Structure 1
Amino acid sequence: MNAPTAHRPALVLAVCCASIVVVVMDISIVTVALPSIRRDLGASVSGLQWTVDAYTLVLAGFLVLAGSAADRFGRKRVFQCGLAAFGLGSLLCSLAPGIGWLIAARALQAIGGTMLNPVAMAIVATTFPAPAERARAIGVFGSMSGLALALGPILGGALVDGFGWRAVFWVNVPIVAAALVATALFVPESRAPRARRFDPLGQLLVLVVLGSVVYALIESRPLGWTSPLVLGLFAVAALGVAGLLAHEPRRTDPLLELHLFRNVAFSSAIVMAVLALCGFGIFLFTATQYLQDVRGLPPLAAGLCLLPVGVLVLVLSPRTGRLVGTTGPRLPLVVAGSALALGGAAAAWLGPATPLPLVLAVFLLFGVFLGTVNPPITNTAVSGMPGSMAGVAASLASTGRQTGTTLGVALAGSAHGVWWVVAALGAGLLALALVGTRRRAEALSLPRPTG
């Protein structure tokens, strides 16, 4: 059978939730440790950016591949490989003697992470076949992202204050070890009836495009935008895009379903995902350094200042999902875009002497933004899609979010007046929310294949 019934579905759900918590938390938990990493390892700003982006870049580049590999080789098997790789990467991060080793270990962590997030969702969906139970299980699973964002800065700050920055990595090891044992005992194996074929050239081109753009953005600060290296990297990225446009339409099972972008709503959703999470990436990288380096707060205090963001995500996300189901995605997206634009503009005026309550009020705007942006983006991406394409559309939206976070962290150290960049991203998100979710957006779409 492709989807055998789990004997203890609650334990399977708990294992999958633990996996998503460590994967998402390792984005936010590390940002609190960045100032300590810089002092201990003598890292540059670009080194700190790569510490975050090596993780998010790999997540973005291999997300679709990991899902198709799980469908082909077995979800339990790939999930176990992901746990092992993530745990080993975490251990190597905690032992890294220099920034280069840390960046490499972060990439290994992310390789494991790509095999956890989409695969865990598929395991949850097959473990709970009844629609009502599945909806509740997916709701619990989805709320773990907000929980991880809320816990990450606080746990990271406490660990850095008490044990040093290496503790934010080795804390993953016992969690992963327990998850590996529980997976072997309780998670059933399952496969898709028909797995998508691999697209190695498409995968390589995606990595070339993402890697070149991120490298160029990070190096533009020390080298300048007109540096031959920076311009050459952008040229390589452009060639990679041209290669994708030429190669992907010829594939039976392409890595990127380019014909989906003929749908106005879907295209808008992907662009909104990139803009929104780019703004979040800038906030995540810049806010913790502002709190610790500019205001002189210890790591735990800095983490507590970010708690309102995670709490709002945890509270607003499920309510936003219900609102999208009843009224559509436009209102939450308008709220998200407005909050991001206002938050960016307000943060541009923060300084070392700004009263802390005012700083927290500005951070609340980012919490409102993040708590209202993800459900409507996913809904916009999959609405109007054929049933056979809904999963692919949702995975591309997730890839867009990871890509946005990666680009945001890269921009955080390279752009002057970075908070105004965030405000501009919010304005762009607001404009697309008004255009991409119009009732006639689907009618404006070109015909798309349904096979």
Structure 2
Amino acid sequence: MKGPATVPHEQRQFIVLVTLCAGMFMAILDVNVINIATISIRSEFHASVSAITWAVDAYNLSLCGLMLSGGTLADRYGSRRIWLSGLVLFTCASLGCGMSVAMWQLILFRILQGAGAALFIPASFSLLSAGWPDRHARQQAIGMFGGLVSVAAAAGPVLGGVLVGDFGWRSIFLINLPVGLYGICSGYRLLPAALPSRLRALDFTGQVLAMATLGCLSWVLIQLPEQEWGQSALPFMALASLLCAGGFVMVERKSASPMLPLVFFRSLAFNLANLSGFFINVCYFGSLYALSLILQQYWHYTPFQSGMALLPLAFFLFVGNLSAGRLMRRWGIKKQMVTGLLAGSAGYAGMILLNGQITLLVFISMALLAGGVAFAVPPMTAVVLAGRTRDTAGTASAIHTTFRQTGSLVGIALAGLIFSCTQAPITVLMGLSALVHLLLALMNAVMHSDIP
């Protein structure tokens, strides 16, 4: 494979960062861009609610289930090679989603999209470590990288509303094609060729058990609103999920080359970063999914109007991340993490007052919520990568991203369950999210030791 092109160092670093951001933007965007299109897809395919939920969460399922193996492959065969392979698969699967003529095809290609993202996301973090060896420069790059990730998370409904309203639901997938082609061409020329480490073997048994655990859990959470517990396969699937999870832990403890090395979890800071990332995504993506449904089904917003109603989230995520990387150098990781979580808690609490229109108080609450997420993401990433070597950075980042994306998977499923079981889903979701963020802030304030 051809090596990176000869380009001035600073210019090459900037282009590499843009290239990595392009891939990550698509990966995170596709977590929730489909939310705005669910009604249009249901109408065309005459799909059930559970089928639509599977289309939304199929991407998260394969992304979460395969992420750890993606990190292992990046460490074993080289992050550049795996990044390019994942982006090719993701781009081709996006074309398949846009050309689907049946619901099962859309779900299948969404699974393949998630598999592609599971390859290039951990490789992205490994390439960041290789391209920015200086810790302070790397923190700034992580801040910019995490900023675009957070903007993508909020831009999904906004961009989805514009595309679905003007070009139809297929456009939310086809828009990935030019971005993917740019990433492939630019990455092939400029990404650093990190040396592979062939000492780590792929943990096939662990991978199967991980996918079985998440698959059974997803089945229970998605099907629960439509099926009676005692007259369906739900108890069996719940038991199967628990058994597979237990088997996974046992296999990882005894494996000579585990996909989830337990040695990483000896660090309290690493554990707190993963726990915080999981619950931040549970709250954020669950709330965003519920907001998209409420705006269109309860308050009869058009896709475009729904996207515009959620635009403040995208704006304040972008503004927050412009300063997050720089402030982390001045404040330190612990202070910025706690500040972000407290702001997020206040924002979720204010969102309880949302009732059919975006008032000034709701606007301020969106600013606090989005700003809190923006401030919390870069410190978590910095903690995960702190002290990692090039041959372990991919696995460490894959563990963290797996926790975060599992949070997205669980959050969307739980939001659907709450949406169907209560008359006030916004009050329940936002109230619980505010409480969770407050507890996370207290945990990080008391237990977290800052990194010098």
Query: CA shift at 1:196, angstroms?
Result: 2.5
Decide whether the 8 Å contact of 1:266 with 1:382 is kept in 2.
Answer: no
What TM-score, normalized to structure 1?
0.86
Q: Name the counterpart of 2:30.
A: 26
- Written as runs of structure 1 = structure 2, the 5 A alignment for 1:23-422 is 23-128=27-132, 134=138, 136-193=140-197, 195-352=199-356, 354=357, 356-379=359-382, 381=384, 392-415=395-418, 416-417=421-422, 418-419=425-426, 420-422=428-430
Identity of aligned residues (%): 29
Aligned equivalents of 2:336, 2:133: Cα separation in 1? 30
What is the root-mean-square deviation in Å for CA atoms of aligned residues? 3.1
Decide whether the 8 Å contact of 1:220 with 1:414 is kept in 2.
Answer: yes
What TM-score, normalized to structure 2?
0.86
Aligned equivalents of 1:186, 1:386: Cα separation in 2? 22
Aligned equivalents of 2:352, 2:308: Cα separation in 1? 21
Count of residue pairs the alignment pairs up: 440
Letter in 2 for 1:53: D
Letter in 2 for 1:378: T
Letter in 2 for 1:412: A
CA change 1:147–1:342 in 2 (3 A) is closer
Query: CA shift at 1:223, angstroms?
Result: 1.0
Aligned equivalents of 1:99, 1:122: Cα separation in 2? 36
Letter in 2 for 1:396: I
Gaps of 5+ in 1: 443-451
Decide whether the 8 Å contact of 1:337 with 1:427 is kept in 2.
Answer: no
Decide whether the 8 Å contact of 1:350 with 1:359 is kept in 2.
Answer: yes
Q: Name the counterpart of 2:431.
A: 423
Decide whether the 8 Å contact of 1:341 with 1:424 is kept in 2.
Answer: no
CA change 1:336–1:69 in 2 (3 A) is same
Query: CA shift at 1:408, angstroms?
Result: 0.5
Q: Name the counterpart of 1:13.
A: 17
Q: Give the stretch that moved more between structures: 53-62 or 144-153.
A: 144-153
Query: CA shift at 1:391, angstroms?
Result: 5.7
CA change 1:330–1:225 in 2 (3 A) is farther
Query: CA shift at 1:135, angstroms?
Result: 5.0
Decide whether the 8 Å contact of 1:6 with 1:12 is kept in 2.
Answer: no
Question: Can you list the C-alpha shifts for 1:248-298, whole angstroms capped at 9, x where unaligned?
Answer: 111232111234435444333322222111011211211112222222222
Aligned equivalents of 1:62, 1:277: Cα separation in 2? 18
Aligned equivalents of 2:449, 2:142: Cα separation in 1? 29
CA change 1:440–1:45 in 2 (3 A) is closer
CA change 1:257–1:77 in 2 (3 A) is closer
Aligned equivalents of 2:333, 2:128: Cα separation in 1? 25
Query: CA shift at 1:236, angstroms?
Result: 1.0
CA change 1:245–1:179 in 2 (3 A) is closer
Secondary structure, counterpart of 2:301 in structure 1: coil
Decide whether the 8 Å contact of 1:5 with 1:127 is kept in 2.
Answer: no
Query: CA shift at 1:114, angstroms?
Result: 1.4
Secondary structure, counterpart of 1:189 in structure 2: coil
Aligned equivalents of 1:50, 1:127: Cα separation in 2? 37
Letter in 2 for 1:428: V
Query: CA shift at 1:207, angstroms?
Result: 1.1
